[in-house]
Amino acid sequence: MDKRITVASDTKVYLATSKLLDEILDIIPNLPRDYKYSFGAKMQELVIGCLLGIQRAYMVSQDKDLLLRTVPRIREVLATLKLTLHPKKFYLQHYTKGVSFTGSIVKPGRVYVEGRTLNNFMAAVLKLNRATCLEQIYKGVDSVNSYLGLLKHCNEYASRRRILGKLNRKVFKYCYIRGHFEVLCIKNRYKRRNIILQKIRDGTFYDFAI
């Protein structure tokens, strides 16, 4: 067997897709007759196509002209999905330089976020530092956590630690960092629910305003 195909079959995405195919093959025999040879067959076809696509992705060619000749075919396939390749944002480069995908740079064995995302994360942290009321704290924490959720799935521990290190002391009166710089949490006494419950216990709920 081609070594590149063996490598493809060992990847998480291939194994997960293969498991999905196994589950579909188990389900199809139990489908109603009307769906078995239409919906069931279509699902099987799509997943097998995904497996073949993953294998082809590892069949890297060194022939640039050959790769360029495949572009029209790629555009045809994408057109069936109502997708297009941007005519001015298509280029070929060595795979070790990484592939830009949904705000991240995918490289062999690791994934980083793009510089623009890190800059936006830093801006969210600095905006939280300027918060002057609880409502702004809530919104700022939500914004920071949205970026942490993205960075947590990338090899960006150092970036998370460096940027969260820019938070000032005032913010830590209301928040704390949980885990390995993974989540910014509101302290219990400042959570909306707990403040409302305390106001109810004190009999001042109708005077409550943030």
Q: Give the pLDDT of residue 207.
A: 53
pLDDT digits (tens, 9 = 90+) for 154-198: 889 999 999 999 999 999 999 999 988 999 999 988 887 877 777
Q: Give the pLDDT of residue 209.
A: 46
Three-state SS string across the chain, please? CCHHHHHHHCCHHHHHHHHHHHHHHHHHHHCCHHHHCCHHHHHHHHHHHHHHHHHHHCCCCCCHHHHHHCHHHHHHHHHHCCCCCCCCCCCCCCHHHCEEECCEEEECCEEEECHHHHHHHHHHHHHHHCCCCHHHHHHHHHHHHHHHHHHCCCCCHHHHHHHHCCCCHHHHCCEEEECCCCEEEECHHHCHHHHHHHHHHHCCHHHCCC
pLDDT digits (tens, 9 = 90+) for 45-74: 887 777 777 666 665 566 677 777 777 877
Q: Give the pLDDT of residue 148.
A: 93
pLDDT digits (tens, 9 = 90+) for 2-43: 444 444 566 677 777 788 888 888 887 887 877 777 777 777
Domain ranges of the chain: 3-89, 115-195
